[in-house]
Structure 1
Amino acid sequence: MLLLATVKQAVYCFPSNTRDFVVPQNLIRRANRQPTQHIRVETGLPGDCKIKWSAPPNSAYFSVKCTANVQYSIAPPTQATSHLYPTSLDVKTMLLISMSSASEHENDSKLSVRYYGKDKEVLSTAILHLTALEISLDVDADRDGVVERNNPNKSSWKWGPNGHGAILLVNCDSERRFSKTLDTEVDYISKLSDLRDMSEMILRTRGPTKLPPGYKLTMHISQGDAESVRVYRSSPHSYGNFLSGVSGDFTRVLTSQMLSREVPYLGGVAEMSFYVEGLRFPDKDFDGLISINLSLLEPICKGLPETPIFTDTVVFRVAPWIMTPNTLRPVEVFVCSTSDNYGFLKGMKNLVANSGYKLNICHEYMNRGDRWMQDELEFGYIEAPHHRFPVVLDSPRDGKLLDFPYNELLGPDFGYVTRMALRKDVSSLDSFGNLEVSPPVTVDGKEYPLGRIIIGVAFPTATKGRNMTKVVQDFLWAQKVQQPIALFSDWLVVGHVDEFMTFVPAPDRKGFRLLLASPDAGYKLFRGLKNNGHGKAKLFEGRSDQKPITVDEILEDEAFQAENNYVQSCIDWNRDVLKRELGLDDADIIDLPILFKLEQDVDHEFRAVAFYPDMVNMIVLGQNLGIPKPFGPKVNGRCALEAEMCSLMGGLGLNCTFIDDFASYHQLLGEVHCGSNVRREAFNFKWWELDM
């Protein structure tokens, strides 16, 4: 609440959130001078203003009298006073005033201070005509989806279940179905549905029908926040009515070009809604916090700018982009159709249909032969208490699928974000098979209820090597809520973490298992086959596009074993990192029997690829797993690798479906996971309740 006090023609304004106000020392002094026009802000800090300093010479006593709506107190405390019972005055005496409710009319209340000499003779009287005005800029600071009145914590932001502070979504979807443009790229509102993507902010006022002459309300933001937010309000002709949903019904209040704008004071008891639009996600140069201010300005004199005498501030945090792990329920599956992947596509259709989910097929006119659906994009979401929608993160790889995320996914309540990088800085590690996220974990007592992002990079001590581009890493780190982990993946030709690890749901322990590719487990399996008399069993038997090889031949190839020993050492390094960073025990990890071979890549470096279809590179659809068909050695008519996988996964209650991706994906250095993508439901946990 603001308290406007007038002495004759002098007007004073006090912030009244605390309901206690110190009478300015020059307020009463002016009662005996020529009337002036002046306004100042009182801080309300006791000790700033002492009645003795404002008293006429030789004043020894004073008394106070006020109308019913005005309250006052004297500090230090003393006996009650009135014009019939003056009280002693000394240099420490302060008078604090407040009003119990807003004024209906200007100057509708008053308070008088009378000064007396030593013999209690009246020396002078100061009469304050008071006007109380409530002004509050309000947001959903308690995060319950409702904009409450004047929350005391609205001007700050705190994480945690007992935290506070408003939340803002980046308006990164598109309400324009036929002229697709990100809503952040246009500075107008074309549909009412766009308001759901914004956060409501309400200006609440209570007081006289108008402000004193020359005063005005102004909303403003800093230059630093200007690129991150826009503010709209309903236009005057539509205010108070149901909005018809056309752009003319809304006025731009704050933009990157308009840092300050006057807003109307409606008078009486009134509310005015504003709509706050986030324009960019947290990043290296933006911590996600935005402040919006409302100030009451006073005129000084003609030719001079107004000055603020009261400011109310609200703080928003922009909602982070959040990834979803394999343990969350699928919503829909995405794959590409190409001229040579009919068998793969048939297997995926059956798996998805049997699992009860929706399959979206990107046809060749759109994918232009680019089959790597996982590498082009990653699904996530953003959430505020009032709204939530999925957001696709488009990778900087920009293969022939580059138009798919924007042209086919972006739409109403389906957002889009990307990070652009120079082509010279983009490598295979920027494809999003190299971007995964763990299920929720607890590490040394610290909880990560949204899991942790996992990326692959060059080995920490490497003097050269490929890395995920810095702009993407900066973006992922800036989201804060899924603190990333960097693994060593540059030892692989393709270089993606999904080539040697994934997560599957589990009914016990932490609710999931980490699956790791393991040459050691592969050699153990093949030695067991040899010991049981199956050394002549062949891998790739029956395939015309791959020369069969026996178990004995694999075990006798010392150079091949040396290559796999190297691969195992790389995976073991990552295993230790994952155990430490995810708080895992060995019992939380399952080793899958997968062998690799080294090949010379385009950089003339020897790096690893899967020797047979890489079973860890799977798609997880609830309890059903779509696993690359490994074409392993057959024992009693059954593939020994498939049997081992079914045994390992069956113990977790998971069902294995083996999909033939050999010619259409494996021989092109990818597998089932590389060729598919899954949009999943959001976490039940609210990101703002994280203890940071």
Structure 2
Amino acid sequence: MTLPTGARLRRASLARCVAALSLAGVIVPLSLTGCKGDEKDDLGEAGETDPGDTGTEETGGELGPWEFDDVLGASNSDDDDISGKRDWLEVPVDTDDDVVDWVMPADSFTGFAEGDQVELVLAGEQPEFVRFWHGNSPVLGHDVSEVRTTYVFTPGSEDEHFSVEFDGFNHGYTLTINHLDADGEIVATDEVVVRSAPLIMNHHLQPAEHLWVVDVGTNSAMINSYATALGDKFSPVAGNTVGYDVWIQDEIEFATQVTPTNRINIIIDSIRDRGLNSFPNQIVQPNIFKQTWGVPGTETSFDSFGNLEATPPITVDGIEYPFGRIYFGKTPQWGINDVLADFLHAQTVQAPVEIDTTWLCVGHVDEFASFVPDPSSAKGFKVLLGDIDAGYALLESMDPSTALPRYAADHGFATVGDIVDDANLRALNDDVRDDYLNPIWNQFKQEFALDDSDIISVPSIFEPVNGCGGAVVALIPGMANLIVANVEGEPTKLFIPDPFLRANNDDQASDPLVSSFAASMPDGIESIFVDDWNTYHVALGEVHCGTNVLRTPIANWWEVATHLLD
């Protein structure tokens, strides 16, 4: 939604403060800010108070300043008072920190004569998604029986406080504040922005706060890798509490709403509704709430959130996207459900890009693409993209007689030569490269303003699988399907599927793909190769599919993204 005509966000002067969020037994630091709008320029225009105006006898003397702060808030959809209801459905209470305290200072009413009043006029689409309280009464926006767009009152001698709350994301309005004389004529006027924050998805350059993996026993190698590397930043989820559903990335996606005084974590809960459907309830608490877009029972594999990602900050055709751009698998016939896709497009600040993933059996963008931090790069990142030619080049550089025990057991290829010499497999991969991967490379370059120097090729080979109508899955574990664990104050760690492209499964040092992949990563990154084979790879997923990450926001939309709202 765009701002109504004439609306603008004022630059805020910010004071830093710190709060803490307890999440799953872990204290998660949050950086919060308070803001106060800057004073307006003395324009002396009609309808605005000139600070040099000394008033008249009719107005009762010199007028006070008539300028007010913008109202920036978040969706009041959590449950701060732990009543079992969304806070929007209840009268605001002291514990409700998602309600904005909007103040008209007492000195604004200096010079008010007898009979003078204040008129508030709310303009914008869907005013039912905002509510102004004055005292204990709703006076503007949504009320139980009506939607109000005008409110007139007589101010007292003290500050006038309004509690403002929103229901939903990225709703924008203007509020006109008029000083009326006893005859209803406008003495002074001001206009401020009223807006609920957009939902903003996380990207891989944001610091990782906490990670989760479902522990089902068979994935102990992966659990141990995380626990050893991350300590208390990692929590295993007991498999018996979630129906032994290991695909935690597919169930939820974390996003945020940030305001000048608060941060809300939103759990985008998918409509897949399998065992992990109960997991969000384990971490929901004040300032963390879940919401679902779409109709349960209509889900396809495309509605799992390995198919929902965001780039780091980018600039495309001169337009800055300070929170990156969302991308997901979707075509006119197939893909992520329309309700969620339309909602994400409506947030505007991350301008989603739709990718054809119908050639993949599972159909997720994380099967062939990922972004990793690269502080030495001008853009701050590198993108990893699946590359079939690089896959065959690597295999052809190896001794064809090299035994591949894992591939022999689960893919029917006993040696490197068996893969290289399979003409049908080669023809299939040539088609996948020409028809899908090459166009995706070109689309990434165009939509995300990438050049070849921004891309790291990930050796990839795909194979068909029964029951997928000719769609393909990764033969060599999809190494772009990784996790970026960039915990603040620590070296960035990548958790990468072990490709097992070697004769001795226990000897990672002998694996040419392990060596070449680690060498291709940006300086300062620690590559941790995880055995995800039995629980994830043979079940058509990898490390990223089985992990979820909460991340810290690193920018304020009202400071850096207003050009994407107007």
TM-score bucket (shorter structure): 0.7 to 0.9
- Secondary structure class of the residue paired with 2:397: helix
1:419 to 288, 293, 301: 293
Q: Distance in 2 between matches of 1:217 and 1:273?
A: 13
Aligned to 1:689: 560
Determine whether 1:491 maps to 2:359: yes
CA contact (8 A) 1:519 1:564 kept: yes
Aligned to 1:349: 227
Q: 1:333 to 1:132 in 2, by over 3 A?
A: same
Aligned to 2:273: 398
Determine whether 1:187 maps to 2:90: yes
Q: How far is 1:218 from its partner?
A: 5.4
2:420 to 522, 532, 555: 555
Q: Tell me the alpha carbon deviations over residues 568-614 of structure 1, each in whole angstroms, 9 at most, x when there is no partner.
A: 22111100011111111112111111211022435xx2101011322
- Secondary structure class of the residue paired with 1:200: strand
- Secondary structure class of the residue paired with 1:423: coil
Determine whether 1:100 maps to 2:54: yes
Q: Aligned pairs, how many?
A: 505
Q: How far is 1:639 from its partner?
A: 2.1
Q: 1:415 to 1:138 in 2, by over 3 A?
A: farther
Q: Distance in 1 between matches of 2:539 and 2:68?
A: 53
Aligned to 1:591: 457
Q: Distance in 2 between matches of 1:381 and 1:389?
A: 6
Aligned to 1:633: 502
CA contact (8 A) 1:136 1:312 kept: no
- Secondary structure class of the residue paired with 2:195: strand
One-letter amino acid of the structure 2 residue matched with residue 188 of structure 1: V
One-letter amino acid of the structure 2 residue matched with residue 200 of structure 1: W
Q: Distance in 1 between matches of 2:152 and 2:284?
A: 34
- Secondary structure class of the residue paired with 1:626: strand
Q: Tell me the alpha carbon deviations over residues 169-203 of structure 1, each in whole angstroms, 9 at most, x when there is no partner.
A: 222332134x443323x23123x242454252426
Q: Distance in 1 between matches of 2:104 and 2:290?
A: 28
Determine whether 1:679 maps to 2:550: yes
Q: 1:200 to 1:418 in 2, by over 3 A?
A: farther
CA contact (8 A) 1:199 1:276 kept: yes
- Secondary structure class of the residue paired with 2:453: helix
TM-score, scaled relative to structure 2: 0.80
Q: How far is 1:317 from its partner?
A: 2.4
Q: Distance in 2 between matches of 1:495 and 1:363?
A: 27
Q: 1:208 to 1:527 in 2, by over 3 A?
A: closer
Q: Distance in 1 between matches of 2:271 and 2:95?
A: 30
CA contact (8 A) 2:98 2:165 kept: no
Within 5 Å, give how 1:427-438 maps onto structure 2. Answer: 427-438=300-311
One-letter amino acid of the structure 2 residue matched with residue 554 of structure 1: I
Aligned to 1:518: 387
Determine whether 1:274 maps to 2:139: no
Q: 1:208 to 1:483 in 2, by over 3 A?
A: closer
The answer to which structure, 1 or 2, has the higher relative contact order (CA under 8 A, 6+ apart) is 2
Q: Tell me the alpha carbon deviations over residues 543-565 of structure 1, each in whole angstroms, 9 at most, x when there is no partner.
A: 86665521111111100111111
Determine whether 1:662 maps to 2:533: yes
Q: Distance in 2 between matches of 1:403 and 1:664?
A: 21
- Secondary structure class of the residue paired with 1:396: coil
Determine whether 1:169 maps to 2:90: no
Q: Tell me the alpha carbon deviations over residues 618-676 of structure 1, each in whole angstroms, 9 at most, x when there is no partner.
A: 11112211111222124897122222222222x53322212111111112211110010
Structure 1 unmatched runs, 5+: 1-16, 22-42, 45-70, 72-97, 103-108, 110-128, 142-165, 236-249, 283-287, 301-306
Within 5 Å, give how 1:274-673 maps onto structure 2. Answer: 274-282=162-170, 288-294=171-177, 313-353=191-231, 358-405=233-280, 407-421=281-295, 423-424=297-298, 426-458=299-331, 465-509=333-377, 510-529=379-398, 534-541=399-406, 547=412, 549-569=414-434, 570-601=436-467, 605-622=469-486, 623-634=492-503, 638-649=510-521, 652-673=523-544
Q: 1:620 to 1:18 in 2, by over 3 A?
A: closer
Determine whether 1:265 maps to 2:139: no
Q: How far is 1:505 from its partner?
A: 1.2
Within 5 Å, give how 1:226-245 maps onto structure 2. Answer: 226-233=127-134, 235=135
- Secondary structure class of the residue paired with 2:428: helix
Q: Tell me the alpha carbon deviations over residues 379-405 of structure 1, each in whole angstroms, 9 at most, x when there is no partner.
A: 121222233332222223232222322
Q: 1:535 to 1:308 in 2, by over 3 A?
A: same
Q: Tell me the alpha carbon deviations over residues 36-77 of structure 1, each in whole angstroms, 9 at most, x when there is no partner.
A: xxxxxxx89xxxxxxxxxxxxxxxxxxxxxxxxxx9xxxxxx
Q: Distance in 2 between matches of 1:135 and 1:395?
A: 52
Q: 1:404 to 1:137 in 2, by over 3 A?
A: farther
Q: How far is 1:500 from its partner?
A: 0.4
Q: Distance in 1 between matches of 2:467 and 2:442?
A: 27
Aligned to 1:9: none
One-letter amino acid of the structure 1 residue matched with residue 365 of structure 2: V
TM-score, scaled relative to structure 1: 0.66
Q: Distance in 2 between matches of 1:135 and 1:473?
A: 48
Q: 1:197 to 1:309 in 2, by over 3 A?
A: closer
Identity fraction in percent = 30
Q: 1:216 to 1:498 in 2, by over 3 A?
A: same
Q: 1:170 to 1:132 in 2, by over 3 A?
A: farther
CA contact (8 A) 2:329 2:357 kept: yes
- Secondary structure class of the residue paired with 2:265: strand
CA contact (8 A) 2:366 2:480 kept: yes
CA contact (8 A) 1:540 1:546 kept: no
One-letter amino acid of the structure 2 residue matched with residue 647 of structure 1: A
- Secondary structure class of the residue paired with 2:445: helix
Q: Distance in 2 between matches of 1:480 and 1:138?
A: 29
Q: Distance in 2 between matches of 1:135 and 1:409?
A: 48
Q: How far is 1:687 from its partner?
A: 4.7
Q: How far is 1:262 from its partner?
A: 5.7
Q: Distance in 1 between matches of 2:222 and 2:195?
A: 44
CA contact (8 A) 1:441 1:449 kept: yes
Q: Distance in 1 between matches of 2:137 and 2:291?
A: 26
Q: Distance in 1 between matches of 2:43 and 2:517?
A: 68
One-letter amino acid of the structure 1 residue matched with residue 516 of structure 2: E
Aligned to 1:140: 69
